[in-house]
Structure 1
Amino acid sequence: MIEERGRIIALVGDQARVTAERRSACGQCSVNNACGTSLLERVFGRHPVELLARNPIGAQVGDEVVVGLSEQGLLRTAAAAYLVPILALILGATLGERFGGAYPDVASVLGALIGLALAFWWLRGYSVTLTRRPERQPVILRRLDARLSVTLSDAHQRIDIHRSEF
């Protein structure tokens, strides 16, 4: 299960709209300021991501929560989103060139565009189908209690103070 922290901004029936700050792996990389990803992040900035997640724990607006998504669901969705348009583009271009008659180049371009349009149409239906399957939807796993973390850090500071007195 892939987990991400977020804050609930609205409740929609038995689901919650959660906003989360985008994180990149740039801080972990040895060339963090020299790659295209970090350049795009500096130019466009980080915008929060909003998603609709199942809310089985009954979290309320303003709660900080952990949202989970299955790895298998993410992998299948990413494969569909990336591979289907590319394959449809290539297949459409190939068919257009093969059956293009006197203008195979023009037919290839048109075939590629038609293939891409059909792939996007299929992806739209696929995403609607996924929203109906609860096992593929993000789910709120637990609340994060900010008061508990402050209390624990205060207790840790008190322990350090008591240790220094001895």
Structure 2
Amino acid sequence: MIREQGQVVATGGGRCRVRIQRHGACSGCDIRRGCGIGLLARAMPGRTAEITCETGETLRQGQRVEVGVSERGVVSAAALVYLLPVVALLAAAVLGSPWGDAVAIPAAGAGFVSALVVARALARRMTDRGAYRPVVLADRPARGDDRSE
């Protein structure tokens, strides 16, 4: 389970909206070493995201919580978005190559676009099944004022 701390900004209907602080991609960013992603993260600090989480608890606005999403869901979403279109593009290009570039290039484009359509449909199906739906794992009271941050 991938876990992150956040603050509840809205509640209702067994769900809540949680604001989380975006972090760098790896621990190297936190210790001032690493790649260009770390440089970008330092150049644009304070970026936040809001996510909708399922919860069975009664939460209040401003409350600190820990949210999580399954690793399997994150990996499958990444494969769906990044891997499927590239594989389809290459496969279509290879299949069209016996007829020359005039066929291989449009075939590659068609394979890429088709994979995006398929990925979108699969992502909707996975979302409906709750494959990568974030959940509230635990409530964490804020130190001092609940609305600070």
Q: TM-score range by the shorter chain?
A: 0.7 to 0.9
Aligned to 2:105: 109
| C-alpha deviation, 1:10, in angstroms | 2.6
One-letter code aligned to 1:22:
R
- The residue number in structure 1 matching 2:69 is 69
- What residue is the counterpart of 2:136 in the other structure? 140
Change (3 A) 1:50 1:113: farther
Q: Find the counterpart in structure 1 of residue 116 from structure 2.
A: 120
Q: Given that residues 130 and 137 in structure 1 are in contact (C-alpha distance below 8 angstroms), is that contact kept between their aligned partners in structure 2?
A: no
Name which of 126, 132, 136 aligns with 1:130: 126
Instruction: Flag structure 1 segments of 5+ consecutive residues without an equivalent.
Output: 151-166
Q: Which whole-Å deviations, capped at 9, do the CAs of 1:69-96 have from their partners, x for residues lacking one?
A: 1122222222222211110111121122
Q: Give me the whole-angstrom Cα distance separating, in 1, the residues matched to 2:94 and 2:17.
A: 43
Tell me which residue corresponds to 1:154.
none
- The separation in 2 between residues aligned to 1:106 and 1:12, in whole angstroms, is 55
Structure with bigger gyration radius = 1
| Larger RCO, structure (CA 8 Å, separation 6 or more) | 2
Distance 1:40 1:111, change over 3 A: farther
Cα 1:113/1:142, change in 2 over 3 Å: same
Of all paired residues, the percent bearing the same amino acid is 32
SS in 1 for 2:56: coil
2:81 alignment counterpart: 81
Q: What is the SS of the residue equivalent to 1:132?
A: helix
Q: Counterparts of 1:81 and 1:22 in 2: how far apart (Å)? A: 20
Q: Give the conservation status (yes or no) of the 8 Å contact 1:57–1:141.
A: no
Cα deviation for residue 44 of structure 1 reads 4.9
Q: Please show how residues 1-166 of structure 1 align to structure 2 within 5 Å.
A: 1-11=1-11, 13-24=13-24, 25=26, 26-28=29-31, 31-32=33-34, 35-45=35-45, 47-98=47-98, 100=99, 104-134=100-130, 136-147=132-143, 150=144
Q: How many residues align?
A: 141
**C-alpha distance in 2 between matches for 1:87 and 1:123:** 12
**In 2 relative to 1, CA 131–14 (structure 1 residues): closer, same or farther, beyond 3 Å?**
farther
Shift of residue 42, structure 1, vs aligned partner: 4.3
Q: Give the deviation of 1:134 after TM superposition.
A: 3.2
User: What is the alpha-carbon distance in structure 1 between the residues aligned to residue 17 and residue 37 of structure 2?
Assistant: 27
Uncovered stretches (5+) of structure 2, i.e. residues with no partner = 145-149
Richer in helix (by share): 1
Relative to the length of structure 1, the TM-score reads: 0.73
- List structure 1 runs of 4+ shifted beyond 4 angstroms: 42-46
